[in-house]
Amino acid sequence: MARTVSATSVFERDTPLFVESETGRLAKYPASPWARWGLRLLIAAIFAAIATIYHLGSDGDWSATANGALAERVPVLTRGAFDDGVGIVGALYPPLTSLLALLIPGGAYGLAIAGSAAAGLMLQLIVQSLQRKGFPFGMRIVFTLTLATTPIFAYIATTNFESIVGLLFFGLGMVDLVRFVTWANTQAGFRAGLLFACAACSDSTVTFSALVAAVAGTLIIQSRRGARLANAFVVAFPTLALFASLALLGIAFGAGPLAMVRGDLAWHPERLEGFLGSLTSPGGLLFLAPIVVMILTSFALRFPGTALIAVFLAVSTLLAYFLGLTPPGNAGTTYTLMLLLAVAIVPAATTLAHRLLTATVAVVLWLIGWATSSQWATLRDWLGVVGGVA
């Protein structure tokens, strides 16, 4: 006799194990729109002040920064420097921040102010995410200050518009990825896919972030059984479709599949050799330190999948560097990505030991950030100008 399939059994199989909200809506934090925007503007004003100090201290010379390189590269596109549209699109990569740079006045300094605004938005949304996850007030302060008060984050916010916008999209994408996979929020899943695509279109250093996110979606706690591959596809599809379209357009115009991704994409073995040679130096060890901390913490909290995510994330940024995608003046992206990963994935502490461990890890990462700033020449020079000792 044929087996009868009931509607009840079909829907029970798709019933999520965890739900973040019965109504599907979460409260915003702070609750008042005026308070939210006030907090964003306050944070943005602090970083804008740092950018202004650097602008005055360097006599307006931003040539050693990623903003300086972006401000010089983008206006060339409007002067007829390319004979075909393919060349223009390739030079525009990453397209989202390049197009924004065409619209933002003030050159590199204007990009620094815009980056400060992006930093303000990011930090407020991170605080909101931690509050929604039920973190105590003290823990929210520790995590937020760990990210916001390191010279690395201030350096990125004020000198690398591409990176801060890419990190903004990546951080929000990771938050929505957890809401999608762990808390069965389908809308958040589609939004996460779009956010990762925006990250790849904003900062070439995080070009491969969508693939890392897709892997991450299979490793973190699942709310729906048997949905790992489907979740990964939903998250990665917008980015894969975007780059597939660019590749097909390049081929159609006879310029090659990589023509619209800077065209000169190539493996740089000297960069790999330099990186391997630096691993035994203090700067190299500090580069590895946050990755090691994330790995050890993930096992201590019994979430070993997070260790693999941290490794894949670091490898993805290194691959972008070895392929020549990383812009000049870029520093600290991997460190910041590790912090954003921790903020997005770490669960709310349920025991005192759990709280002490997560707080200790946050402080250790903060100390690593400050120690890194004294070892990397790019950050050290920037700090010298901001501190008035250059």
- Tens digits of per-residue pLDDT, 366-380? 999 999 888 888 888
* pLDDT average, residue stretch 92-115: 92
Q: Summarize the confidence of residues 304-323 as an average pLDDT.
A: 88
The reply to whether the predicted model has a pTM over 0.85 is yes
Band of residue 204 on the pLDDT scale cut at 50, 70, 90: confident
pLDDT for residue 128 is more than 50: yes
CA distances from 337 to 156, 178, 197, 313 (A): 12, 16, 16, 8
Predicted confidence at residue 2, as pLDDT, reads 46
The pLDDT value recorded for residue 357 is 86
| Most confidently modeled range among 69-73, 151-155, 230-234 | 151-155
Q: What is the mean pLDDT of residues 93-109?
A: 90
Q: Looking at residue 233, what is its pLDDT?
A: 87
* Confidence band for 79, pLDDT divided at 50, 70 and 90: low
Torsion angle, alpha carbons of 289, 198, 196, 139, to 10: 60
Do residues 37 and 143 touch, judged by C-beta distance below 8 A?
Answer: no
CA 85 to chain centre: 29
String of DSSP letters for 81-104: --SSHHHHHHHH-SHHHHHHHHHS
Q: How far is CA 55 from CA 63, 107, 119, 191, in A?
A: 11, 11, 18, 36
